[in-house]
Structure 1
Amino acid sequence: MTGICAGQVAVVTGAGRGLGRAHALALAAEGARVVVNDLGTDRAGEGSSTEPAREVVREIRDRGGEAVAHAGDVATGEGAASLVATALDAFGRLDVLVNNAGFLRDRMLVSLGEDDWDAVVRVHLKGHFLPMRCAAAHWRAESKAGRAVRASIVNTTSGAGLLGSVGQANYAAAKAGIVALTLVAAAELARYGVRANAVAPAARTRMTEGIFGDGLGEPGDVSPLVVWLGSQASADVTGRVFEAEGGRITVMEGWRRGPTADGGGRWTPTEAGGAARRLLTGARAPGPVYGAGAP
C-alpha cells in the first residue's frame, strides 16, 4: 500500500475500539503495517477478550492492509515486552508507537477509592511508560549498532490532564503525568533518532458516552494528526502537545514562567504574600477546569 506511512510498522495500544481503532485503521490506510493491541476490557477496565483486536485486524486485512493482533496487558513489563516483540517478529521492525490504552473509574475526590486510583493511573500512566521503555530500548540498540532510526512515539493525554476535570482526579493526574513523560522522552531519545509528541483528543467514544453528550466529533477526526505525527512528514516535530477535536487542531502551550519577583533574599510570609499578590495581578488566569461550571 502507498501513503505517508508506507514501509513503516506501527503499534497502537487500546486499538480494539474508539480512538485506537480509528488510529489503527488510518495508519494502515496510509501504508503502515499495524500491531493492534487491545486487552478487551469493558469501560471500567474489567474482563478481557481477544475479539476486539482481532476484529480490527480483520478490517485492516479486508481493506488490503497488513496487521496482527496482540491481546497482552501493556501495563505489565511482560505485556509491553511482548508487544514490541510481536512487531519485530511479524514485520521485522518498529517505527511508530501510539499509546492509547485506557479506561475510566470516575469519582469525586472524597469518594475516590485507592483501588480506583491505582487502576486508572496504572493503565494510563504505567501503560504508556512500559511500552515506551521497551520500544526505546530497541531503538537505542539499533542506533548504537549503526542502523539509522527514524521513530515516533505518539502519546494520548487529555484536556483533563491539561486543565483538570471534576470527578476525574485519577484520570486527570495520569493524563498530566503523560505530558511530562512525553517531554522527558522527547529530550532523552532524540539522540537515538526518536521523537515523542502527545495528542489530547476529544471524540465520541465509550469513554466519553454520557459525559459530554453528542457534541463531540468522531474518533476518525483525530486520527489524521496521529498518522502525520507517526510519519516522516513530521520528522522535525518533537516535544509538542496538540489538542484535536473534529476539524480543529490546537498547539497547547504548557507551563511557562510568568511574572517574577526577586527580593534578593528570604522573604517574610507577609512580604512573600505581598509579592505574590502583585504578581497575580499581571498573570494570566488559568483555564477553567472541565465540569467546574461558572465561578
Structure 2
Amino acid sequence: MSRSASEKDIKSAYRKLAKELHPDKNKDNPQATERFSKVTHAYDLLSDKDKRAQFDRGEIDADGNPAMPFGMGGAGGGAGAGFGGGRPGGGPNGYSSRDFQGFGADDLDIGDLFEGLFGRGGPGDARAGMGGAGNAGGFRQPPPPRKGADVRYKLNVPFVDAASRAKQRITLADGKTIDLALPEGVEDGTQMRLKGKGQQGQGGFGDGIVVISIQPHAYFWRDRDDVRLDLPITLDEAVNGSKVKVPTVDGAVMLTIAPGSSSGKVLRLKGKGFSRKGGSRGDQLVTLEIQLPDDLTQLTEKLSDWRDTGNPRADMGV
C-alpha cells in the first residue's frame, strides 16, 4: 500500500487478507500461516497512528522495535535482545503467534548520567562536592551502589488471550520461564514491572519492564471495553428466526435471532468483552449481516410473483 493510504484502506486490506490467510482455512499450507503472521504484525503497526508516524520517520523498524543508538534493536545489542523468539500463539482459535522479544540493549537512564557526574541528587548537589554548604569538610559522600539496569521486553498477546486474561508463559533474559498474569483493564501499550528481573548491579538487580502489544484478530475488534463481531446469517435465519452458534473470546455460544431481523441489527452478549479495573467485563456486540446464497435460482423462482411495497429509504427523504 502507498504511504498515503487511509485507516479505512488499511483496515479493509487487512480484513481481506486475514480472511484469506487465516490458519483455520489453510491447515495444510504453512506458507499461508507465515504470511498471516506477517500481515497481522504489519496491521498492528500501521493501524497505530503513533507507531506509523515513528516508522515513517525511521524511528522504529517493521517489528516495532526502536531504531536508536546505544545498541537498541541491533544485532548483538546487549541484554534482552532476541530472547523468547516466536512460537505459535495459544488463543482458543489457534490463529495467532506469540512473540516475546527483548527490545535490545539496556535502557539509558538520564538520571544515572547526572548521578555519575554530580552525585545522587543530580546537578544541584555539585556544590556540595566542591566544598559548599551542607557537607562538612568540603567532601561529598560517595553515592550508594546503583542497581542494575532495567531490561525492556515487548510481549505480543493474542486478542482472545488479552480479552480473557489468559496467562502468558514467557522466557526472560536470564533464561527463566514464568507465567505472567495479565492485569485487569489490560490495553495495548500496558506496561508491567517485574521486580528484580533486570540486570545485576552493585546495588542489586534492576527490573524487567514488559510492554503489552495486543494483536489484531481476523473477526473480532475492540470498542473500548466491548468486543465487536460482524456475524453472517442466511436469509432464512433472518426471516424465520433461528438459534445459531457464535464465536466469543471465551468460546462459542448459542445466540437467538428473532424472526424478521434485518442486516445491521446489533445483539449483545453480556460479559464477553475485555476486563475492566475492578473485575467487571465489557460485552460482545454482534452485528447481523444477511448473506444471500451464491445460487439464487430457487429464491428467484419463489419470489417471482412477490414484490416488497415498503420503502426502506423513506427516512432519507427519497
Same fold (TM over 0.5): no
Q: Shorter-chain TM-score category?
A: under 0.3
Q: Which has the higher strand share?
A: 2
Instruction: Give the TM-score, by structure 1 length.
Output: 0.26
Structure 2-normalised TM-score? 0.25
